[in-house]
Amino acid sequence: MLKFISLLLKIILITYLVIFSVNNKSVVELDMFFDYMVIEMPLFLFAVIVLLLGVVIGGLSMISYWFKSGRESKKLKKEISKLNTENTKLRNITISSTDSSLNNNVAENESVKNQLR
């Protein structure tokens, strides 16, 4: 379903760009650097160039976030691995050794209770 919606949005966007380019063939002058550089180009081409520049600048601004999230992901994966190893070790501890220590503690508690009475 998500692929269908994505495809539909792409088709709508491409259709809009084609219609926009056909309707805006007029040539515009872009005055750059105080009459030092004047560029003439169709309006739709200028709009597409500005759109692509926006995409590139947005992508470049996200690079630091991508690297930061990648480092954090590696750190968390390492921590998960460490905790899984610890969990496995704790599960493999024999219950009989803990049972005997628990029985000793229960016996000590009973003897303390009997002394207090």
5-29 confidence digits (pLDDT tens):
999 998 998 898 788 778 877 888 8
Most confident of 43-52, 63-72, 85-94: 63-72
Alpha-carbon gap, residue 64 to 68, rounded angstroms: 6
Q: State yes or no: pLDDT of 76 exceeds 90.
A: yes
Are the CB atoms for 42 and 28 separated by under 8 Å? yes
Alpha-carbon gap, residue 83 to 104, rounded angstroms: 30
Please write the tens of the pLDDT for every residue from 29-44.
888 777 778 888 888 8
For residues 91-111, average pLDDT? 66
Q: At what angle do helices 43-92 and 2-23 cross, to 10 degrees?
A: 160
Q: Where are the domains of the chain?
A: 20-93
For residues 74-89, average pLDDT? 92
For residues 61-75, average pLDDT? 92
Residue 94: DSSP 8-state: -
In degrees and rounded to multiples of 5, residue 42 shows phi and psi of -65, 150
In degrees and rounded to multiples of 5, residue 34 shows phi and psi of 55, 60
